[in-house]
Chain A
Amino acid sequence: MSYVSTDMQESTEPRTEESSQEGLRRSIDPSQVGAERPSSRELARETVFQIQNLTAYYGKAPAISDVSFDIYGKTITAIIGPSGCGKSTFIRCLNRMNDVIPSFRSDGKILFHDVDLQGKDVDPVSVRRRIGMVFQRPNPFPKSIFDNVAYGLRILGMKDNLRDRVEHALKRAALWDEVNNRLKDSALALSGGQQQRLCIARAIAIEPDVILLDEPASSLDPIATASIEDLMHELKQDYTIVIVTHNMQQAARVANMTAFFSISGGEDGSRHGVLVEYDDTEKIFTNPSEKRTEDYVTGRFG
C-alpha cells in the first residue's frame, strides 16, 4: 500500500502559491525523484539545529542513541517511526523539556544557532522561550481563552499591546474567527481541535523561533487534524517547525524533511531508538536509501 496518495494531498493542502518546495511536495511521483530539482536541504536558508551524536538516557538505559542530523530553518521537519523509538524523547531534548524528568541525562551536542543547548551557562527557561512546544494532548490552562494566550506574554513581560498580541496570535493560529466573541470563556469549553489550536496560539504568542509539535493531532479527528496541518503550512513561512508524528500520511503531507527513527537492539539486549535515515520527505517515502525505512513506509514493519 502506498502511503503517499496524490489525491489525499490535493484535498488537504492549502491552495497557496508558494515556493518551489511547495510544488515539490505536492506531486510526489517516484519517476521524478532524483531529477534535477533542488532538495529542501539545498533550499534551506540556514541550519537551526545541529544535532551531534546525541544519546539520551532515562535512568541507565539509553532511549535514543547516537543521533546526528541538521534541522533547517523555515522548514517543516517530521520525525517518524514506530512506538518506543524515542521520537518524543528526541523532540523534548530540543527545548530541554527533559530537564523536568529527574532521571534524564544526555551525551552529545545539540547546537542551536551554533550555541550548545546543554551548555552550563544556558538557561533552560530562556531556551524554552525561544523554542516553543505543543504537546500530544491539548493542555490549555483552566483559564479564559484570552488568559491562556496572554499567559506567556505576561510571564515574559511582553505586556505592551497585550490585546493586539493575543488577537494576532489567535489569528495566526486560525482560531480568532471562532472565539473572538467569547475570549472571556473558559478554554476548557472549546473542542479538542480548538484547544490544540489555542495551544499553538499560546506558543506563537511569545514569538519563538522554533515550534516543536509532539504528535499534535494524535488526539484529534480528521477535520481538526486537517486544520492543524493547514496551519503548519501557514506558520512554516515564519517559523522552523519540528513535528513528531506516527501518522505517515501526515508526515508526507506536511513535511519538507523527514527523519525516520527506529528501534535497535544493543549487544546486551537493550533496545533504544536510532536515526535510520534523514532526507527530503519525498525521497524517504518514494525512494529511501535504507531497507528499514522502506519496510516502514510501505507498511511491512511497525
Chain B
Amino acid sequence: MSDLTLTAKSLTSEHRRRRRIVNWAMEGLATLAALAAVALLVIVVGSVAKRGAGALDLDFFTKTPSFLGFGEQKSGIANAIVGTFIIVGLAVLMALPAGVLAAIYLNEFAPKRVASALTVAFDVLNGVPAIVIGIFVFVFLVAGHGQSGIKGAFALAILMLPLVTRSTQEVLALVPNAVREASLALGAPRWRTTLNVVVPMAVGGIITGATLATARVAGETAPLLFTSSLAGNTVSWNPSDPLASIPFFIFTSAEQADPSLQEQAWGAALVLITFVLVASIIARAFGLRSRRRLTGGR
C-alpha cells in the first residue's frame, strides 16, 4: 500500500520522466509502422505508374498482342481485359449467391455449434493457397477436358467463397436482434424476417465485402495458370474457351526479353491496380451508406 501513497515526491519523481519517454517511444513506433504501410502502397503504386504509364494509350485497351511484330507494331491487351472481366464476372456470379446464402444460414438459421464448426471450415478454406485450388480444379475439371474461362472462374469462385461468406456473416451479426424480434413479433416467419428486414439492413456491407473479395481475386494468377492460360491472341467472349487475363498477361510478358513487352506488363499491372483501387473506393462508399442506414443517419 505504501507504494501507492500519494506524496509530493511520487508526483514529481523521475518515474514521471521515464513514463513520458516510454509513452513517446511507443507512440512513435506505432505511427512509424502505420506510415511504413502507407509508404509501401505509395512506392508500389508509384513505381507501377511510372513504368507502366508509357504503355497506356488507346491502342493498349483496344488492340490485342502481336508478338510477331517485335515492337514495331503497337499492340494492346484488349483480350486480357475482356477475359479478366468475363472470368471475374462469372466467379462473382458463382461465389456471391453461394457465399451470401451460406452466411445467412450460418448467422440466421444454424444452431450455434454447427455455425461455429462451419465458420472454422470457411476459415480453413480461406487459408488454402491459391495454387492448390488451381491444381484441384485442374485435376478434377481440366485434365482430359481442356481449359476454359469458366473453369478459371470456378477456381476464382472457390477463393472468393470464404471471403464473401465471412464478410457477410460479420455484417449480418451487426444487425441488432431487436429488429429481428420486432419482425417476428408481428407474425413474420423467419425467412421473411431475414429477407425483408435483416438483408436489406446489411446489403451495403454485403456489397462492400463482395467488392473487396472481387478485387482480391481479380489479381490472382495461380488458379488461372492451370485453368485458363492457353488463350489465343484474339479477343474472345466465349467462356468455354480458355480466356486471356490481365494477371496472366503480366506473368508472361514480364519474362519476355522485349523491353516494350515488359513495359506493357507494367501497363497491365497499372490497369489492374486501378481496377482494384476503384473497386475498393466503391466498396467504401457502400460501406458508409450501410453504416448510415444502420444508425439512422446520425
Contacts and interface: CB of A to CB of B under 8 A. Distances in A.
Contacts of B178: 135, 137, 139
Select the residue from B181, B200, B294 with max chain A CB neighbours within 10 A: B181
Interface string B38-50: 0000000000000
Chain A: interface residue count, which band? 20 to 34
Nearest to B111: A102
Interface string A114-150: 0000000000011011101101010111100000000
A130 B185 CA distance: 10
A199 B182 contact: yes
A155 B189 CA distance: 9
B297 interface: yes
B186 A189 contact: no
B1 to A, nearest CB: 36
Contacts of B180: 100
B232 interface: no
A58 interface: no
Contacts of B189: 125
B297 A189 contact: yes
B181 A126 contact: no
Select the residue from B187, B189, B192 with max chain A CB neighbours within 10 A: B187
A186 interface: yes
Contacts, number: 74
Contacts of B183: 141, 151, 155
A206 B296 contact: no
B278 interface: no
B181 A189 contact: no
A125 B188 contact: yes
Interface majority SS (helix, strand, loop, mixed), chain B: helix
Interface in B168-206: 176, 178-189, 192, 196-197, 200-201
Contacts of A125: 187-189
Nearest to A138: B178
Contacts of B16: none
Contacts of B186: 128-129, 132, 151-152, 155, 202-203, 206
28 contacts: A97-B185, A100-B180, A100-B184, A125-B188, A126-B187, A128-B186, A130-B187, A132-B185, A132-B186, A135-B178, A135-B182, A135-B185, A137-B178, A139-B182, A142-B200, A142-B201, A151-B186, A151-B188, A152-B188, A155-B183, A155-B188, A186-B296, A188-B295, A189-B296, A199-B182, A203-B185, A203-B186, A206-B186
A95 interface: yes
B187 A141 contact: no
Given A139-B176, A142-B201, A152 B293 contact: no
A33 interface: no
Interface in A81-105: 95, 97, 100, 102
Interface string B62-105: 00000000000000000000000000000000000000000000
A44 interface: no
Nearest to A133: B185
